[in-house]
A and B are shown apart, each in its own frame.
Chain A
Amino acid sequence: MSKARDEILERLSSAFRPEGDLGEMRVVRVEPAAGADGDAMLMVALRQFDENKTGYHVLGDRNALLDSLANNIYSRQMRRVACDFRGLLAEPWLLKGLTSKLPSTELLDVTTLEFAEIASCDAGLTAADAIIATTGTIALSAPDSRRLAASLLPRTHLCVASVDRIVPDLAAWNNEHVRIPGLHRVLVTGPSRSADIEKRLVLGVHGPWKVSVFLVQSAGEDL
């Protein structure tokens, strides 16, 4: 053990300690403004998406999801899309449907790409672990940072999620998430931004300029 470590810890242990128990703490959940009811959470999430400049599409079923996603990619003339094929995106019908609707777009598996290649893609397509309603946040997790790069390096980030993935707050996502060693987790709340120059908000800095969420309501048997 290093001398610096021992000295720092010694300084901390020799300092005065006030009386009283500093042991286990009861973490009281601070209730967010949103309720925990499903529809209410969806409405809160949509309001927050508006607030943080995330585009959103609420879709009835899988066909609507497929159409909306394909239209979005087609209308923005995206030729190369880096996809993290997990969760909802691992569904065979989705890849098959997109491939048939978008013959001139390459849907590339992000795990096979170098970072420079991911950066050169027109968009990144991911499936959300959860949507955090009170902040309008997309919660993503992955075993490596390459998969998460699909939500960072391309200029547009498209994200699919079913509405039953909406949770009220970060604490709820933490509760759902067991500790898996090596799991990278990231919360994405809108397009990357800066207000460093004269406090003027600019969307699109090092991360995506545009973020769109496709929420599918009727997961049902089809999904």
Chain B
Amino acid sequence: MEKFRTHLADPEAARALVGEIRHRNVGRLKENLEELEKRLVEAGTQVLWARDAAEARELVAGIARSVSARTAVASKTMVGEEIGLEEALREVPCRLLQTDLGERIVQLAGQSPSHITAPCLHMDAAQVGEILKREAGMAHAQDAEDMCRFVAAALRPEFLSAQIAFSGANMAIVETGELVIVENEGNGRAGFSLAPVHVALVGIEKVVRSRQEAACVLSLLPGGATGQDATVYASFIPAEPEAGRKRFVIFVDNGRSDVFAAGPHRELLRCIRCGACLNVCPVYERVSGHAYSWTYSGPIGIALAPFMGPPVARCTDTDLCTLCGACTEVCPAHIPLDRLIALARRTSNSLRPKAEQKKAQRMARWYARAMSGPGAFGLSHLGHRLATRFRKTLSRIESAAGWGEERAAPKPARRLFRSMFRQGRRKGRWPL
């Protein structure tokens, strides 16, 4: 099986190497951060630290106030989503415009991204068109190309007039102090190139030692994310801000040090946020990103939730996994996600209220009975089909299973596969 597309002669060796690089970088996280900070400060970049989202919001608002910013542009930053960047700037007040196409669409829709690298994956073109008509006054929103061009044209003057550009960073190189940002649209480059103030929100785990290590990570990151050999743009921003400009780097912890201290879960900090695990997850494919309770969805979101997520995610998101292991197979950073999700479930279960725990155990027992034999399974299938005719009964069952209103269970098939198979064999359509 081709796990993901790559131009490398030996993708498995590359995965092993990237895994090793990230493992070592995370292992020496404190030393790496101290050295990186020293290099950035010496070069004239202002370095700030935030223990949690609230502290990061304060810092961001403080910077916006200090430069009297009224308009800011942001390229895709998951740390920005995590801390609530838009809310922080609203209080300044400073208008924040998301500039990644998908991010801009979900911003106009008043939603949150449903995928790490494809924020409006949950919408079809018609829905996007409706949003652009309603919120941005686009006249004929039908074709993806037209919509894309319309959003880009509307944002061009904003890039030229914004006082601050916010970005994340895919990597921060310790030896040179460079920030590495990868993207396909050019909005990140336009943001930090044009605005007089650049603020990079960097998760503390994003450090790599050298340019060569960054090159190794870059060789796999785009393949994991979008199947490309290379993203359209990979920018290496020097530690030295240009004359007359300011650069701030905010190192955000927000639970990462808890992950670091959580024994085997430390491996999760190897993550390069490519989204490969989401792309292959059968549960994610069915339920989409909004079924998860916080910023990070899919396997990596589940594994991080008990340590970094809000209370509701800590308790429930770990259920959204079948432990099939597809994510582990494709992870470019070699993170044993399935094993760590299984471990995270233990942590998650211990955090649940007793009543919730009992409910989950009860459901597991019902499920075990239903799957105990063909007769029991047929009976439960019949029961489920009958229940779908009575919506209230079904929603009660779903609620007992811990599924909310936004997670409707699929309707059961009209006939069981076994009966279809028997009939097919009788009619000679099935060879067995």
Contact = CB atoms under 8 A, between A and B. Distances in A.
Nearest to A177: B211
B43 A181 contact: yes
Contact of B99 (A146, A187, A206): A206
Most buried by A among B120, B144, B160: B144
A213 to B, nearest CB: 14
Interface string B13-53: 11001001100100111100110010000010000111100
B157 to A, nearest CB: 9
Nearest to B149: A204
Nearest to A53: B232
Interface string B215-251: 1101100000010111111111111101000000001
B233 A188 contact: yes
B232 A193 contact: yes
Interface in B81-114: 99-102, 105
Interface of A: 2, 4-5, 7-9, 11-18, 22-23, 25, 27-28, 30-33, 48, 51-52, 115-116, 119, 132, 134-137, 144-146, 148-149, 152-153, 169-171, 174, 177, 179, 181-200, 202, 204-208
A198 B233 contact: no
Contacts of A199: 118, 121
Interface stretch (B187-195, B290-298, B365-373): B187-195
Contact of B253 (A8, A171, A184, A206): A8
B186 A11 contact: no
Nearest to B15: A30
A199 B128 CA distance: 13
Contact of A4 (B33, B50, B105, B160): B50
Contacts of A5: 37, 49, 251
Interface residues of B, number: 89
A184 B237 contact: yes
Contact of B212 (A174, A186, A190): A174
A192 B242 contact: no
Contact of B101 (A17, A25, A182, A196): A196
A2 B187 contact: no
B185 A182 contact: no
A25 B144 contact: no
Nearest to A17: B27
B349 interface: no
Contacts of B27: 17-18, 22
Contacts of B185: 192-194, 205-207
B232 to A, nearest CB: 5
Contacts of B231: 189
13 contacts: A5-B37, A9-B33, A11-B261, A12-B29, A23-B28, A145-B242, A186-B189, A189-B231, A196-B148, A198-B124, A199-B121, A200-B125, A202-B144
B212 A200 contact: no
Contact of B184 (A23, A144, A194, A208): A194
A161 B10 CA distance: 30
Interface in B320-363: none
Given A145-B242, A205-B149, 5 more contacts: A169-B219, A181-B240, A187-B235, A206-B155, A207-B232
B423 interface: no
